[in-house]
């Protein structure tokens, strides 16, 4: 299926994309301060946010501590009640064609992710910089080392090997979004079917349960 996606892709088969390939991206970037304001309210309770592996157990192969925190908005075929705390962010996310998942991704100082690859190239990944301290902080995708900046988007294919680090003294936060790779027929239909079937997997069912338990603790209902 990955080979089929590369053959029928409407965008180049590259590790890191030119933002001009996605006409809607500018609208998202222009509203970054609106998203940042809602993030700031979330970060008041930062210590109560889940480590990513506490929601998505399969990421335990790359992170085991609580220094990569998440505030999930949508994913796994469900929308979190967290969107009530971020209504404008949720409105802005609706502009992304093929939105598959979204969260605030929070890297504590000193956090490093080892080299790894995502499971599938049928989705692409967007990082919108929201809080980016100065210092040694970057992501390598394939052979390209990229640095986040506040208000700017980075789009990449996470099926390429990548690693990320925050060796600065501050917290780094991005709006982390997965969206369906633009594909021509028939790959677009097969990709949609595969992504739909994935929502019924044991892994996704466990992740949904974990997210719901965290919401009960966080909101008390």
133-158 pLDDT per residue, tens: 999 999 999 999 999 999 999 999 99
Q: Which is it for the CA torsion 135, 139, 143, 145, positive or negative?
A: negative
If one counts the domains in the chain, the total is 1
What is the pLDDT at residue 58? 87
d(CA 169, CA 67): 13
Q: Which is it for the CA torsion 183, 188, 193, 196, positive or negative?
A: positive
pLDDT greater than 90 at residue 86? yes
Domain of residue 25 covers: 2-219
Does residue 72 contact residue 208 with C-beta atoms inside 8 Å?
A: no
pLDDT greater than 80 at residue 221? no
**Taking Cα atoms as reference points, which of 53, 99, 181 lies closest to residue 89?**
99
Mean of per-residue pLDDT scores for the chain:
97
C-alpha torsion 146→133→72→181, nearest 10: -20
User: What pairs with residue 138 in β-bridges?
Assistant: 165
User: What pairs with residue 72 in β-bridges?
Assistant: 103
* DSSP code at position 127: E
What CATH number should be reported for the domain holding residue 19? Answer: 2.60.120.330
| Three-state SS at 16 | strand
d(CA 56, CA 210): 8
21-65 pLDDT per residue, tens: 999 999 999 999 999 999 999 999 999 999 999 999 889 889 989
Average pLDDT over residues 115-127: 96
């Amino acid at each position: 299926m990955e080979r089929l996606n590369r053959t029928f892709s409407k965008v180049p088969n590259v590790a890191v994309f030119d933002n001009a390939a996605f006409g809607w991206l500018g609208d998202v970037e222009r509203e970054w301060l609106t998203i940042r304001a809602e993030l700031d309210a979330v970060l008041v309770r930062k210590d109560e946010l889940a480590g990513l592996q506490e929601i998505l157990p399969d990421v335990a192969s790359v992170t085991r501590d609580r220094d990569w925190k998440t505030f999930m908005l949508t994913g796994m075929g469900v929308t979190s009640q967290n969107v009530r705390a971020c209504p404008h962010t949720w409105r802005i996310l609706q502009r992304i064609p093929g939105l598959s998942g979204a969260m605030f991704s929070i890297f504590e100082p000193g956090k490093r992710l080892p080299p790894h690859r995502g499971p599938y190239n049928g989705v692409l990944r967007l990082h919108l910089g929201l809080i980016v301290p100065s210092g040694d902080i970057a992501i390598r995708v394939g052979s390209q080392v990229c640095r986040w900046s506040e208000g700017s988007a980075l789009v990449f294919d996470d099926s390429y090997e990548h690693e990320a680090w925050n060796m600065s003294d501050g917290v780094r936060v991005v709006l982390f979004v997965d969206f369906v790779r633009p594909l021509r027929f028939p790959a677009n239909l097969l990709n949609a079917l595969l992504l739909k079937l994935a929502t019924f997997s044991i892994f996704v069912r466990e992740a949904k349960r974990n997210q719901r338990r965290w919401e009960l603790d966080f909101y008390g209902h």
